[in-house]
Structures are given as structure tokens and as C-alpha cells.
């Protein structure tokens, strides 16, 4: 697989979130935590609520439908959440954010 273009950083609200659809139809949520960006699946694994309508504090993403929470860095479930989020590796190059879509990527 490969790095896929998502958006320009300025398309994501400061300290906010925005959903994007990649070429091929995969929906991605990009989260701006002020000085970092994170990417994960756009729908909550519980009942497929749009996570873009949730909230985050820079490290925890909360789905407001049933208050499931997730670690923004790893997608790990927190609190009452029973399933993880798909987290994506994210990089910035030439003023564009890209996500890695495919098998687990080894750092380096």
C-alpha cells in the first residue's frame, strides 16, 4: 500500500477535527491538537456515529453518542469503550498531510 493524501493542515480547524474521504472511499478523521495532528477511522466502532461530532482534549477522543473514549495516539479504547479505533500513521510533506493505508508500518 502507500501514503495517501488527506488534506492541507489549514483545512483542519485549530484544536478541532474534520472528516475526509480518501481516494478509494476510506473515511478518515484528522484531529488537530494544537501542535500535532492525528488520524483515525471516522466512525465510532460502537454504532458508527461520526466522530467528527465528538470532542477531544489533545490526547483523548470522545464520541458523544455513548461517551466511548479512545487514545488519539494509538486508537486504544479507554473507559467504557469495548473496541479500538483504527489509528493511521500521519506525516506532513510539502504542506500536505498524508496517511499510511495498508499493512502496519515499521518506523524508520
Question: What distance in Å separates the CA atoms of residue 7 and residue 14, rounded to the nearest whole number?
Answer: 14
As a whole number, the mean pLDDT across the chain is 93
Domain count, the chain: 1
| 18: β partners | 30
Provide the grid cell at 94: 510539502
Inside any domain, residue 19: yes
- Domain membership flag for residue 27: yes
Share of the chain above pLDDT 70, in %: 94
Q: Does any domain span residue 28? A: yes
Structure confidence at residue 1 (pLDDT) = 67
- Is 88 inside any structural domain? yes
Q: What is the pLDDT of residues 33-64, one digit of tens each?
A: 988 999 999 999 999 999 999 999 999 999 99
Q: What is the pLDDT of residues 87-107, one digit of tens each?
A: 999 999 999 999 998 766 544
- Alpha carbon distance 22, 37 (integer Å): 17
Check: pTM over 0.85? Answer yes or no.
yes
What is the domain extent for residue 57? 2-101
Q: Residue 108: inside a domain, yes or no?
A: no
Q: For residue 21, what are the CA distances in angstroms to 26, 52, 59, 67? A: 6, 13, 23, 24
pLDDT at 43: 97
Phi and psi angles of residue 33, each rounded to the nearest 5 degrees, phi first: -105, 25
- Residue 12 covered by a domain: yes
Q: In this structure, what DSSP letter does residue 5 have?
A: E
CATH number at 68 reads: 2.102.10.10
Query: Given a cut of 80, is residue 19 above it in pLDDT?
Result: yes
pLDDT of 24 strictly over 70: yes
Q: Is residue 106 part of a domain?
A: no
Q: Cell numbers 499510511 correspond to what residue?
A: 100
Amino acid at each position: 500500500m502507500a501514503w495517501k493524501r488527506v488534506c492541507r493542515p489549514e483545512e483542519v480547524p485549530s484544536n478541532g477535527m474534520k472528516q475526509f474521504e480518501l481516494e478509494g472511499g476510506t473515511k478518515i478523521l484528522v484531529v488537530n491538537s494544537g501542535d500535532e495532528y492525528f488520524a483515525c477511522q471516522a466512525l465510532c466502532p460502537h454504532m458508527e456515529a461520526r466522530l467528527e461530532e465528538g470532542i477531544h482534549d489533545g490526547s483523548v477522543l470522545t464520541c458523544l453518542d455513548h461517551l466511548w473514549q479512545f487514545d488519539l495516539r494509538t486508537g486504544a479504547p479507554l473507559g467504557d469503550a469495548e473496541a479500538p479505533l483504527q489509528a493511521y500513521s500521519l506525516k506532513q510533506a510539502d504542506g500536505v498531510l498524508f496517511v499510511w493505508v495498508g499493512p502496519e508500518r515499521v518506523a524508520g
